[in-house]
Structure 1
C-alpha cells in the first residue's frame, strides 16, 4: 500500500520546461531524491514525464490530473497536471516548434493556476528561446512572459546564491539597447524591487548597492556621464524614499564587497554584469527569482543543456534550490 503524505498547504507547481532539454529529467531526479517532500505537482505533458521516469529506471508512476485539487500525494506517484499531450515525445537535444509550444503552454497554465490561487507558487524548469521562436512565440525568456501575464507590472530578475543577491535593471536585450533602457525610471524601479525582494527574503533593512554602468563608475565623468546624470540621482531618490541605497559603485568591485557582507543586494545595470559573478560561483546553488509579480516564481539558474539532454547526467541541485526558495518565500521564512 502506498504511503500517503500530508500536505499542510497548497502545492507548488513545477513547469516541465522544454521537453527536449533537461527539464523533465531534473524534475524527476528531484522527485526521486526527496521522497518525503512530494507536496507539489508538475505542469506539463504526461508522456514526456513518463519517459523521464522510465529513462531513470524508476518504478514511480504518473498520475494525470486536471486541477491541483485532484492531486494525490503518495509515495511513488508523480502528479502531472496536463497542459499538453504530445503524440510522442519530441527528440531530445533538438530545437522544435512542438517543444516550444508545449513549454509555453505549461507556463501559461501555471500562471493561470497561480492567479486563481490554487497553487502556492511556480517553479519553472528551463525553456529554449529558439524553440519558442520556432513556435511563433517571440519572447526573450520567462520573465517577459510572466510580466505580460501579470498585467505589465514592473518586474525584475533577482539572481541569488548563498553569497550574493543581484537584481538587474535591464534583462534580455543587446548591450546597446541596455544602455538606452537603463534610464531613471528603470533605475528607481530596480532599486525599489531589490529592496522589496530582499525584505521578502527576511532581511529587515536591506543595504542596496547600485553598480555603475561605465568602467570605474564613470571615473567622475571621464568614462561616461550616466552615473552622474541618471544612476546617482536614482540612488538619491531611493534614499529619500527610505531605502538604504548607495552608489553608483564600480562594477568590478561591488560584487566582491557584497560577498564580504558589506551589502545585501546589488543592482546591476545589464544582464552579463549581474549574471557573470553569480554563475562564476557555480550553477548548482544559483536561483532566479522574479520580483514584482502577484505570486512567487523561481527557477534554476541554468538553461536547457541540450548537449547533455537524454544522457541521464543532469544535476537537479539548482532546481532543488529554486524549489526551496519558493517554499521559503511562500512561507514567509528567511533564506
Structure 2
C-alpha cells in the first residue's frame, strides 16, 4: 500500500483522487483525507465514488481512506486558512504510517505554502515558517538532511538548495552541506540500481564563474569538493555552466544533474517533462514521491486536469520499491 496525501483541499488534490478512483491504479492507495471533501468533489465532477475506511486493497470506483476531518467546509478553488492544519495533519499521519511500515511509500499531492503560513500554525526548529513538503517531511521523520530531486524521462535534477530566496542562495553553498548533498544523491542512485552514478554538478555563477571573474564559489568551494569526492570513487563532472549543462550532448550518459538552486535546473526539467515529471525526496527513511505541479485552484472542480504527473509519481514510487 502507498500512502497518498492530497495537499490543499481547495485545490485539485481531491480531483486527482476522485478521478483516479475510477481506475485500478487506486487499489494500492491509502488516502489520508476528509471523506466529505472527496464525496463533495465527486458530485461536482459528476463521477461515482465509493469510500472504504479500511486499509486493505479496494476495488475500482472505491477509495481506501484514513479519515481526517477539515476544520471548515471546503469550497473548490477558495483557500481557507482554517483548513491549513488539516493539511499538516494528513502529512503527520501518513508519515507515521510509512515509518511504522504500514505503508511502503508516500505520494503527496500539491499543497499551498502561502495559506499554511498565513494560518501561522507552524514554525521549524529555526523559528521559520513552512517552506514546503521536503523540509517538513525531513523534520517530522527525523532525517538529518534531505535532497529534492525531480525526474522525468531522460533527466533527473537534484537541488543543492530548495525553497529559499535567490538573494540567500550563495550563503547556503558551502563545502559541508554540498558534500552531504552529493553523498545523499550518490547513495540514493546506487540504491535505485545505478552502480556508478554519473552526476553533473552545475556552477553557481554564470559560465561557472569564468575563472573567478564572475564569482569565486566554483574555485573556492565547488571544484575542490568535486576533485576530493572523485578521488573517493565518485563519478562527478563539473563544475559546468548551467546554460550548457542540459543540452542533449551534455546529458549523454548522465544519471543526475545537481543544480545549485531551484530555478537553475527545474525550468528545464519541467519544460522537458511537463505533466510527466515527479518530485522525489532523497534522504528520508522511506520513499516519497510527489506530483510536480501546484494546487491549480482555478481548475479545482472542473475536471479539466491531467493525471500524468500523478501516474508518474505512483509508477516511480513502485519502481523505487522494486529496486530498493
Give TM class, smaller chain.
over 0.9
Of residues 69, 88, 93, the one that matches 2:77 is 93
Aligned length: 317
> 1:188-230 deviations in whole A, cap 9, x for unaligned?
1221222123223332211011000011101111111100000
Matched residue, 1:120: 104
Deviations 1:108-149 (A, max 9, x none): 110111111110010000000012112223211101111111
- The C-alpha deviation readout for 1:290-314, integer Å capped at 9, x for no partner, is 0000000000111101121121111
TM-score, length-scaled by structure 1: 0.90
Asked whether the equivalents of residues 165 and 266 of structure 1 are also in contact (C-alpha less than 8 Å), the reply is yes
Say whether 1:220 aligns with 2:205: no
User: Does 2:40 match 1:55?
Assistant: no
Q: Please, which runs of 5 or more residues in structure 1 have no aligned partner?
A: 1-10
Q: Distance in 2 between matches of 1:52 and 1:324?
A: 25
Query: C-alpha offsets along residues 17-59 of structure 1, whole Å, 9 cap, x if unaligned?
Result: 1100001101222222x32651211111111111222233222
Cα offset, 1:87, TM superposition = 5.5
Matches of 1:86 and 1:127, distance apart in 2: 16
Judged with a 3 Å threshold, the aligned counterparts in structure 2 of structure 1 residues 241 and 257 are, in CA distance, closer, same or farther, namely farther
Quote how far apart the aligned CAs of 1:62 are.
Answer: 1.3
Distance change in 2, residues 1:273/1:75 (3 Å): same
Residue ranges of structure 2 left out of the alignment (5+ in a row): 123-128
The answer to whether 1:77 aligns with 2:62 is yes
Partner of 1:130: 114
Report Cα offsets for 1:257-303 as digits up to 9, x if no partner.
57742311011000100211111124211100000000000001111
- Please say if residues 202 and 238 of structure 2, whose CA atoms lie closer than 8 Å, have aligned partners that are also in contact: yes
- Report the alpha carbon displacement of residue 152 of structure 1 after superposing the two structures with TM: 4.2
TM-score, with length taken from structure 2: 0.93
Matched ranges for 1:205-244 at <5 A: 205-244=196-235
Q: Distance in 1 between matches of 2:228 and 2:40?
A: 53
- CA offset digits 1:68-99 (Å, max 9, x no partner): 3xx352233211111224553x1222222133
Task: Report the alpha carbon displacement of residue 150 of structure 1 after superposing the two structures with TM.
Answer: 2.2
Map residues 186-335 of structure 1 onto 2, 5 A cutoff. 186-257=177-248, 260-332=251-323
Q: Residues 208 and 264 of structure 1 are in contact (CA less than 8 Å); yes or no, is this contact kept in structure 2?
A: yes
1:104 equivalent among 85, 88, 97 = 88
